[in-house]
């Protein structure tokens, strides 16, 4: 992940804040401008530990007619930015709004013109942006710019050429007046790199046009542990060479209690930081008492997303922001590094691209990737993602693909296909000493199956080998690092029947590590050169991804832990508790570490943390209480609770 592009007086700053509309007006703030009320709300945000707000320019009010930006609205916006400066709160303005809270608000003169590529529209859009930037660019409160709010909802999807030209055009307008402040799109990152569906906004192609990436996250799941890791998962899926800020997340008290809203906020703010984000902004600052104003009159749940109430009271979620801010205020983010595990989960290029005559269930692919990522977190592996490079357009290519050299473990969960050059790259990676794990997918496309896995498959044309029973039992026939011979793992055969199929095989070179009830090879280990390949004949991650609340009984994380042991991955701190996330933050001088222990479970959990480091002192960062320890560091956490320990090392890190 890239380091931040946000600075305060030359020092990097971690952004903590909320998306902002005044509680009494919502999107009509500019026509119902009340600077006194706005200032009090900005003060409240500051008092809650926020250092930034994302603001919105409701376009119909700023440009009710073409060729002119309303001076009254510009003056009000300038006053708003001055108020932010008065209370020492940064602002990230969003230009084209556009879409807001379940409704689209168009300028009356657009008349169906294409927003992205109509020359006359681009002229009007450039005028709007230019006048706004000109008005406030000299304010110390501006820390960045956003082109829009979820622009595809308002302007629709488009081809990437039109989108890239639009982004480039508007960014150039900004940079001609304000060349230093970072810019992003504000689109929510709903495109192909994260969700597998091309809307024209492509992270890889926009890398050189924008300065940061800002996902918006509002996703559900039927497994509460998987769901808890979604923000972390999405942040890492957005790792395309630019800093990532969690630009929007949140939930409505229409369907979430205030207590559990606070639980979600607590976990998300901390877990997002540990995932490499450079800031986190909640949706949103306040509830609204506006049942007769669109969009709230038809999107009623949008009335209750706030961390404060319509009467000005603070919800528990608001206090969680203040708590997080208090922890972060003494951390110099320029002096720290989050410990990584050199483990990569592969994202097939087929997920992002639509190769000729190929068809993918991309929603299922994403869910399997999330399940695999959750297993790495349960095994206390800080994994990231490796997206398979796309094939070049040429009919023939001699381009050689390679896996990053420092990768210790490569994971391909339930993957049907990679391109042939990528399979070849995996083989070379293993041959040179890498560890590769692959779990079966029905109708797999692998041209070097026997060479890679040391076995021959016995698959039949047009038929899927669907397990006879709904419960699948896997027994290890030999010790495998943390797993002892004779241990059994159980899975429920969930999902589309064909996709639950296993791979019948006979080993030619590989060692059998585990078998099913019928004694068929289930997990095999093959040696190639200096490296190893582990093949699972059953789609474990697919079963788990289709099983509600599976984390409560599943032990597959122990298999992932053993894979990491094989790859000689040893985190500075570890625990056998699969429900907590361990975040290890190292200071450059090496004598001090910060250890986050986050309980992602909805029940109380406890355990102990092991380390080989020579520790001299452990202190609770919030309470400054000394934590007694001998060989291990104990923890006891309520549901969705966390601790941050400051750990001092004798003579520096080993």
Q: Is residue 573 part of a domain?
A: no
10 Cβ contact list (under 8 Å, min separation 6)? none
Confidence of residue 652 (pLDDT cuts 50, 70, 90): low
In this prediction, what percent of the chain has a pLDDT beyond 70? Answer: 99
CATH of the domain at 518: 3.40.50.880
**Is residue 250 located within the same domain as residue 365?**
no
Q: What is the pLDDT of residues 200-242, one digit of tens each?
A: 999 999 999 999 999 999 999 999 999 999 999 999 999 999 9
**Residue 420: inside a domain:** yes
Joined together, the tokens standing for residue 483 give 């797993």
505 and 636, same domain (yes or no)? no
Do both 484 and 383 map to the same domain?
yes
Whole-number pLDDT of residue 654: 46
User: What's 27's DSSP letter?
Assistant: G
Cα atoms in the Cβ-side hemisphere of radius 13 Å centred on 154: 26
Instruction: Mark which of 334, 361, 385 sits at the end of a domain.
Output: 334
Give the chain's domain count.
Answer: 3
- Pair (307, 432) in one structural domain: no
CATH number of the domain that residue 209 is part of? 3.20.20.80
pLDDT band at 19 (very low <50, low <70, confident <90, very high): very high
pLDDT digits (tens, 9 = 90+) for 67-102: 999 999 999 999 999 999 999 999 999 999 999 999
Give yes or no: residues 176 and 318 share one domain: yes
Q: Quote the pTM value.
A: 0.97
Q: Is residue 111 part of a domain?
A: yes
Q: 407 and 500, same structural domain?
A: yes
Quick one: pLDDT band at residue 1, thresholds 50, 70, 90? low
Please compute the mean of the pLDDT values over residues 103-125 and round it to a whole number.
Answer: 97
Place of tokens 């919502």: 26
Considering the domain boundaries, does residue 312 fall inside one? yes
Asked, for residue 654, whether it belongs to a domain, the answer is no
Answer yes or no: do 253 and 354 share one domain.
no
pLDDT score for 590: 83
The C-alpha atoms of residue 424 and residue 401 are separated, in whole angstroms, by 8
Mean pLDDT in residue range 30-48: 99
**Containing structural domain, residue 475:** 343-566
User: 516: which residues sit within 8 A by CB, 6+ positions away?
Assistant: 467, 472, 473, 474, 475, 502, 522, 538
Residues 41-76 pLDDT 10s: 999 999 999 999 999 999 999 999 999 999 999 999
Domain identity same for 245 and 108: yes
* Residue 88 domain flag: yes
> Out of 64-73, 172-181, 303-312, 391-400, which region has the weakest mean confidence (pLDDT)?
391-400
pLDDT of residue 194: 98
Question: What pLDDT, on the 0 to 100 scale, is given for residue 501?
Answer: 98
Residues whose CB falls within 8 Å of the CB of residue 63, separated by 6 or more in sequence, listed in order: 69, 70, 107, 124, 128
Are both 391 and 280 inside the same structural domain? no
The reply to whether 300 and 354 lie within a common domain is no
Co-location of 136 and 111 in the same domain? yes
The answer, yes or no, to whether residue 508 has pLDDT greater than 60, is yes
CATH code for the domain of 618: 2.60.40.1180
Q: Is the pLDDT of residue 484 over 50?
A: yes
Q: Does the structure show a pLDDT above 70 at 489?
A: yes
Note whether residue 475 is domain-resident: yes
What is the DSSP-derived secondary structure letter of residue 641?
Answer: -
Domain boundary residue among 566, 597, 626?
A: 566
Q: Say if 572 falls within a structural domain.
A: no
Helix (H) or strand (E) holding 437: strand 435-439
Q: How far is CA 627 from CA 192, 290, 586, 638, in A?
A: 46, 49, 19, 17
Q: 93: part of which helix (H) or strand (E)?
A: strand 90-97
pLDDT tens readout for residues 322-340: 999 999 998 989 899 999 9
Check whether residue 20 and residue 84 sit in a common domain.
yes
- The H or E element that residue 165 is part of is helix 160-177
Average pLDDT, integer, range 429-451: 98
- Output the average pLDDT for the chain: 97
> Residue 653 — pLDDT band, cuts 50, 70, 90?
low
pLDDT, tens digit, for every residue of 267-288? 999 999 999 999 999 999 999 9
Looking at 542, 566, 590, the residue that finishes a domain is 566
* Tokens (6 digits) for 545: 């991804």
Average pLDDT on 174-191 reads 98
296 CB-near residues (< 8 Å, 6+ apart): 26, 101, 288, 290, 302, 303
Q: Which carries the bigger pLDDT value, residue 652 or residue 388? A: 388
Per-residue confidence at 378, pLDDT binned at 50, 70, 90? Answer: very high
Instruction: Say which residues have a Cβ less than 8 Å from residue 433's Cβ, sequence separation at least 6.
Output: 529, 530, 531
Per-residue pLDDT at 2: 79
pLDDT tens digit string along 396-411? 988 899 999 999 999 9
End-to-end CA distance of the chain: 25
């Amino acid at each position: 992940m890239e380091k931040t592009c946000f600075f305060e007086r030359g020092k990097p700053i971690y952004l903590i804040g909320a998306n902002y509309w005044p509680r009494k007006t919502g999107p009509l703030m500019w026509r119902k401008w009340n600077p006194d009320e706005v200032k009090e709300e900005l003060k409240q945000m500051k008092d809650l530990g926020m250092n930034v707000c994302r603001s919105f320019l409701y376009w119909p009010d700023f440009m009710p007619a073409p060729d002119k930006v309303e001076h009254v609205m510009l003056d009000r916006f300038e006053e708003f930015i001055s108020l932010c400066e008065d209370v020492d709160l940064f602002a990230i303005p969003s230009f084209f709004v556009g879409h807001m809270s379940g409704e689209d608000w168009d300028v009356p003169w657009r008349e169906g013109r294409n927003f992205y590529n109509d020359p006359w529209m681009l002229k009007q859009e450039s005028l709007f942006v230019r006048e706004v930037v000109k008005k406030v660019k000299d304010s110390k409160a501006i820390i960045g710019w956003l082109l829009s709010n979820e622009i595809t909802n308002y302007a629709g999807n488009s081809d990437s050429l039109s989108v890239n030209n639009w982004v480039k055009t508007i960014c150039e307008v900004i940079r001609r007046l304000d060349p230093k402040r970072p810019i992003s799109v504000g689109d929510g990152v709903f495109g192909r790199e994260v969700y597998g569906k091309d809307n024209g906004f492509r992270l890889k192609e926009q890398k050189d046009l924008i300065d940061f990436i800002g996902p918006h996250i509002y996703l559900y799941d039927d497994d509460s542990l998987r769901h808890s890791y979604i923000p972390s998962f999405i942040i890492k899926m957005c790792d395309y060479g630019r800093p990532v800020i969690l630009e929007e997340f949140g939930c409505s008290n229409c369907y979430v209690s205030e207590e559990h809203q606070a639980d979600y906020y607590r976990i998300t703010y901390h877990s997002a930081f540990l995932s490499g984000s450079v800031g986190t902004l909640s949706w949103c600052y306040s509830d609204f008492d506006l049942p007769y104003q669109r969009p709230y009159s038809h999107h009623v749940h949008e009335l209750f997303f706030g961390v404060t109430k319509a009467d000005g009271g603070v919800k528990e979620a608001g206090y969680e922001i203040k708590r997080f801010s208090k922890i972060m205020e003494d951390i110099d983010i320029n002096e720290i590094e989050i410990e990584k595990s050199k483990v990569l989960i592969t994202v097939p290029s087929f997920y992002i691209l639509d190769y000729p005559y190929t068809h993918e269930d991309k929603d299922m692919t994403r869910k399997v990737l999330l399940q695999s990522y959750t297993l790495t977190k349960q095994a206390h592996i800080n994994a990231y993602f490796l997206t398979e490079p796309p094939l070049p357009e040429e009919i023939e290519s001699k381009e050689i693909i390679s896996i990053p050299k420092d990768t210790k473990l490569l994971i391909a969960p339930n993957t049907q296909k990679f391109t042939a050059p990528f399979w070849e790259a995996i083989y070379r990676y293993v041959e040179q000493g890498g560890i590769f794990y692959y779990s079966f997918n029905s109708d797999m496309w692998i041209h070097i199956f026997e060479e890679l896995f040391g076995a021959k498959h016995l698959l039949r044309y047009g038929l899927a080998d669907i397990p006879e029973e709904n419960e699948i039992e896997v027994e290890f026939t030999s010790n495998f690092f943390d797993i002892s011979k004779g241990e059994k793992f159980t899975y429920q055969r969930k999902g589309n029947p064909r996709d639950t199929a296993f791979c019948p095989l006979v080993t030619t070179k590989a060692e059998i590590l585990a078998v099913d009830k019928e004694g068929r090879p289930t997990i095999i280990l093959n040696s190639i050169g200096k490296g190893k390949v582990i093949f699972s004949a059953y789609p474990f991650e697919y079963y788990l991804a289709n099983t509600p609340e599976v984390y409560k009984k599943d032990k597959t994380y122990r298999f992932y832990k053993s894979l990491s042991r094989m790859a000689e991955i040893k985190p500075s701190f570890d625990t056998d508790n699969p429900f907590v996330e361990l975040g290890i933050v190292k200071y450059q001088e090496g004598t001090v570490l910060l250890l986050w222990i986050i309980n992602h479970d909805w029940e109380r959990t406890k355990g102990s943390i092991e380390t080989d480091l020579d520790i001299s002192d452990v202190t609770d960062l919030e309470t400054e209480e000394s934590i007694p320890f001998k060989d291990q560091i104990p923890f006891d956490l309520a549901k969705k609770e966390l601790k941050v320990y400051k750990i001092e090392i004798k003579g520096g890190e080993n």
